Structure 1
Amino acid sequence: MIDLNQQLKNPVWYALQETHKKFAITFNGVQFYKPEICTFGSFFDEAKTTKPASEYSKMSDTFFFVSEHQTPEIDLTKVRLVKKIDGCQMVLNTLTDVSITEDIVMLDETHVDEIYDLIWLVMPGFYQKRTFEMGKYFGIFKDGKLVSVAGQRMQTNLFTEVSAVVTHPNYTRKGLAKQLISHVTKVILKENKKPILHTNKGNLAIALYEKLGYELTRDMNWWLYSKN
C-alpha cells in the first residue's frame, strides 16, 4: 500500500486510484476526473501531459492540472495556460476544540442547486454541480436559506480533503465557517482518515485553519488551462 505521505504528494492521482476510481478518465499515464464531477488532472511524468491535455480539452473547455512542483507540458496550438495558482496543502495536527452553536445539517441531493449557487457566488471556478458526489457536504441555514457550506472533495482510504468552505457575504464574521470546518474534520477523523485541505498561498483563511489545528506542509499548485 502507498503510505499517506506519498499519497499527499499527489492527492488527485491517488484519489482517482482509490475512492474516486469510478470518476477516473485515463490517457496514457495521465488521470483526470470526469469533467461533470471535477475538472482536475494529475500526473507523475510531465513529459506525458501534452496529448492528454489536448484530448481532455475536447471534453472540458477549462481544466486544472494539480502538482506539487512539476510544470505540465502542453501543445500551445490546442491548449493555453490561463494562470498558475500558487497553492499550499495543510494537514491536521491536533484539532482545536470548537463550540458548536449552530444547527449543522448534512446536505443531500435536494440541496444541489443551492450548494452550487452559493459556492459560485463566493468562489467561482472549481465546483461543478456533481462535485457534490465526491463526498459529504454540510451546511448552515438562516431563514430557510443556505448561507454557509463545507464538504469533502479528494479522498482515499487514508485521507479526506475538506473543501468548498464558503459563507454568503451577508453572513461572514459569525463563526459559521469555523464551526463547519470543525464538524467536517470530526466526521473525517471518525472514519480514521487524515483530514487535509488546500488553499491559495497568502489566503487570509490560513490563520483560521491554523487556529483549528491544521499545519502548512507543502506546495500544491493548480495550473488552469483553456481550450484554444
Structure 2
Amino acid sequence: MEYVLDNPIYHALTSGHKHLAKGVETVKYYTEDVTAFAGLKNNSQENLNTLYQISPPESLFVFFAKTPVEIPEQWKLLTHIDMYQFIFRGVKVPDTDGAELTDLDQEHVAEMIDLVELTKPGPFLSKTIELSNYTGIFVDGKLASMAGHRFFPSPYREVSAVCTHPDHLGKGYSFKILQEQIKRILLRNEIPFLHVRNDNEAAIKLYQKLGFEIRTDMIAYVIKKEAL
C-alpha cells in the first residue's frame, strides 16, 4: 500500500481529500484558497499541459516527483526543492497529555499565516486550516509554535506546517506538538508521514528521534502559469 506515497498529492485528491479536489481524472488540484498543490496521475508532459489548460489564469502550483521532471515551456519554473519523505516507523503511541496545546481554528488563522510567513515551512492560505488538526502552543498570548495535517492519501496522513517562532527555538515545543500529532493520527488507525528539505539537519534529527525514517527522496516543483 505504500506505493500511494510515491504520488501522495494525487492519491490524497482521489481518496481522503477528494471533496477538496478540482480537475479531471488524470490531473487534480486543491481548491485555490485551501492550498496550491496539484497532483498528476503521472508527471508526464501531457498531464502538465492538461493542468495548464484546465486551471485558472496565473495559477501557481506545487507538485511532487520522485525523479526529475522536464517542465513544459508555457509554465514558469519558480524553484524546485530537494526533500526527503519520512514515514513513521515507531512501535507505540506517544504518551502525551496535550496540556500545553491549543487546537487552532479560524480565529487563529491570521496569527498562523504570520508565523508561516516568518518561518517558511511551506504555503499556508486562508482556508488551509480546513486540512485539519492544527495545534499550537501560545506564549504570553502569542502563537509560538504549531503544526497540522496536510495531504491525506488514505490511510496515510501527512504532518505539515511544523514551525516555531525564532524567539522560542530550543524549548521543545515542536517535539511536544509532533508527539500529539503522531498520537492523534495513530489513534485513528492512520499512518503518519511528512516531507522535509534534505538540508534541514535540525528537523531531520527531530523527526528521527520521534520515530520517523526516510522512505524516499522527493522533489517539489513550484510552477506558475504564464500567458501564451
The TM-score, its normalising length taken from structure 2, stands at 0.89
Contact 1:30/1:52 (8 A) holds in 2:
yes
Specify the alignment match of 2:65 in structure 1: 67
Specify the alignment match of 2:84 in structure 1: 88
Counterpart pick for 1:223 among 207, 213, 221: 221
- Structure 1 residue matching 2:34: 3-state secondary structure: coil
Counterpart pick for 2:75 among 69, 72, 79: 79
Q: How many residues align structurally?
A: 223
Counterpart pick for 2:166 among 164, 169, 175: 169
Letter in 2 for 1:199: V
Contact 1:100/1:179 (8 A) holds in 2:
no
Counterpart pick for 1:193 among 187, 190, 193: 190
- Structure 2 residue matching 1:220: 3-state secondary structure: strand
Task: Tell me how far apart the structure 1 counterparts of residues 122 and 135 of structure 2 sit (CA, whole Å).
Answer: 20
- Structure 2 residue matching 1:208: 3-state secondary structure: helix
Contact 1:46/1:73 (8 A) holds in 2:
no
Moved more, 150-159 or 118-127: 118-127
Identity %, equivalent residues = 32
Task: Tell me how far apart the structure 1 counterparts of residues 149 and 225 of structure 2 sit (CA, whole Å).
Answer: 28
Contact 1:90/1:216 (8 A) holds in 2:
yes
Contact 1:159/1:194 (8 A) holds in 2:
yes
Task: Tell me how far apart the structure 1 counterparts of residues 55 and 43 of structure 2 sit (CA, whole Å).
Answer: 19
- Structure 2 residue matching 1:49: 3-state secondary structure: helix
Shift of 1:195: 0.4
Q: Residue 46 in 1 paired to residue 44 in 2?
A: yes
Counterpart pick for 1:134 among 131, 134, 145: 131
Task: Tell me how far apart the structure 1 counterparts of residues 16 and 71 of structure 2 sit (CA, whole Å).
Answer: 28
- Structure 1 residue matching 2:150: 3-state secondary structure: strand
Letter in 2 for 1:67: A
Shift of 1:151: 0.3
Task: Tell me how far apart the structure 2 counterparts of residues 52 and 115 of structure 1 sit (CA, whole Å).
Answer: 33
Task: Tell me how far apart the structure 2 counterparts of residues 88 and 171 of structure 1 sit (CA, whole Å).
Answer: 25
Shift of 1:25: 1.4
Specify the alignment match of 2:205 in structure 1: 207
List aligned pairs for 1:172-183, cutoff 5 A. 172-183=169-180
Counterpart pick for 1:160 among 154, 157, 160: 157
- Structure 1 unaligned residues grouped into runs of 5+: none
Q: Residue 22 in 1 paired to residue 42 in 2?
A: no
Q: C-alpha root-mean-square deviation of aligned residues, in Å?
A: 2.1
Specify the alignment match of 1:55 in structure 2: 53
- Structure 1 residue matching 2:154: 3-state secondary structure: coil
- Structure 2 unaligned residues grouped into runs of 5+: none
